């Protein structure tokens, strides 16, 4: 795992030791394709950019780190997402006009809140200071991903449709089968949807954490509280283990599907928003 991480970071002209110190000292996390490249090396994913999530208002400090570590420069002014999908501002840095790093600020003091708000399970993963956290380990290992109609809660328009299409299509090309999970739905036991038992949490038994063998230290700036979400949750009587397996629907498209099928899925997801 450490060898794979070193090779991945070398693609971005970064050193493994530097990134380890960054994650430890700041509590930020690497997410997205880079984590999948480590969790599923069989897919041979080559990330086009490096996504780093950090706590609220910590973006400028993280950007300074990459400037000092590898001479990355800001490619534009920070983009303010206006609290859309749990994101505050996004800082984009480039090196030589080819390599790109996105620094994504959470709206809270918990970096992972910016990850789970996207409602797309194949990126529910994070490379933290001492290992990799997976929210849906069973789905990830099977090449399945789930999304909901709430994905990217932006006003329906050209940008929302195009951006969502790009994300779905990207992971379909990488071999994932995308499944549509309609939430909210009636609670299985008939209790109010606000019941805490409907929530998934980053510290429940259905999640998985793979520790790097030689990383045996903790950070005072780690996650201050569990991250909770409702995607894939079930009723009180269903238990916790592997509940995501019982919640997904039949895949709505995959890499083998026709383009028209993808367009139909996009329309279905964004309909009546």
Identify the bridge partners of residue 136 per DSSP, sorted by sequence position: none
**Spatial separation of the C-alpha atoms in residues 88 and 234, rounded to whole Å:** 30
- Using a 10 angstrom Cβ sphere, with 0-12 exposed, 13-18 middle and 19 or more buried, the burial of residue 224 is exposed
Summarize pLDDT for 120-148 with one digit per residue, the tens: 777 788 998 878 888 888 888 888 887 76
Confidence of residue 271 (pLDDT cuts 50, 70, 90): very low
Report which of residues 102 and 212 the model is more confident about. Answer: 102
Q: Is pLDDT of 216 > 80?
A: no
Average pLDDT, the chain: 72
**Spatial separation of the C-alpha atoms in residues 271 and 35, rounded to whole Å:** 31
Cβ atoms 54, 87 nearer than 8 A:
no
The reported pLDDT for the residue numbered 101 is 94
The reported pLDDT for the residue numbered 124 is 84
Confidence of residue 222 (pLDDT cuts 50, 70, 90): very low
Q: Is pLDDT of 150 > 50?
A: yes
The reported pLDDT for the residue numbered 13 is 93
- Reported as type and span, the H/E element at residue 101 is strand 99-106
pTM for the full model?
0.77
Summarize pLDDT for 229-252 with one digit per residue, the tens: 765 443 344 333 334 444 444 565
Torsion of CA 6, 207, 171, 57, to 10 degrees: -70
| 3-state SS, residue 233 | coil
Report which of residues 174 and 100 the model is more confident about. Answer: 100
Q: Is pLDDT of 6 > 50?
A: yes
Task: Taking each helix axis as running N to C, give the angle between helix 16-26 and helix 2-11, from 0 to 180 degrees, rounded to the nearest 10.
Answer: 100
Give me the residue spans of the domains in the chain: 2-270
Confidence of residue 210 (pLDDT cuts 50, 70, 90): confident
């Amino acid at each position: 795992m450490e060898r794979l991480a070193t090779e991945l970071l070398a693609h971005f002209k970064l050193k493994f030791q530097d990134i380890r110190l960054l994650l430890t000292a700041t509590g930020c996390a690497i997410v997205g394709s880079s984590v999948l490249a480590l969790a599923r090396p069989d897919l041979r994913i080559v990330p086009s950019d490096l996504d780093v999530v950090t706590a609220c208002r910590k973006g400028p400090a993280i950007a300074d780190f990459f400037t000092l570590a590898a001479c990355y420069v800001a490619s534009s002014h920070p983009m303010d997402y206006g609290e859309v999908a749990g994101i505050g501002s996004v800082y984009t840095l480039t090196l030589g006009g080819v390599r790109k790093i996105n620094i994504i600020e959470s709206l809270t003091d918990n970096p992972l809140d910016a990850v789970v708000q996207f409602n797309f399970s194949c990126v529910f993963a994070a490379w933290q200071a001492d290992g990799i956290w997976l929210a849906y380990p069973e789905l990830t290992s099977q090449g399945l991903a789930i999304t909901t109609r709430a994905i990217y809660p932006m006003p329906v328009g050209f940008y929302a449709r195009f951006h969502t299409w790009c994300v779905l299509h990207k992971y379909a090309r990488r071999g994932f089968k995308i499944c549509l999970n309609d939430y909210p739905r009636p609670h299985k036991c008939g209790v109010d949807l606000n019941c805490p038992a409907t929530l998934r949490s980053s510290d429940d038994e259905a999640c998985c954490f793979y520790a790097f063998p030689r990383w045996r230290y903790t950070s005072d700036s780690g996650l201050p509280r569990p991250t909770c979400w409702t995607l894939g949750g079930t009723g009180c009587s269903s238990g916790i283990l592997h509940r995501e397996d019982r919640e997904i629907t039949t895949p709505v498209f995959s890499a083998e599907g026709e383009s028209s099928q993808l367009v139909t899925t996009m329309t279905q997801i964004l309909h009546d928003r």
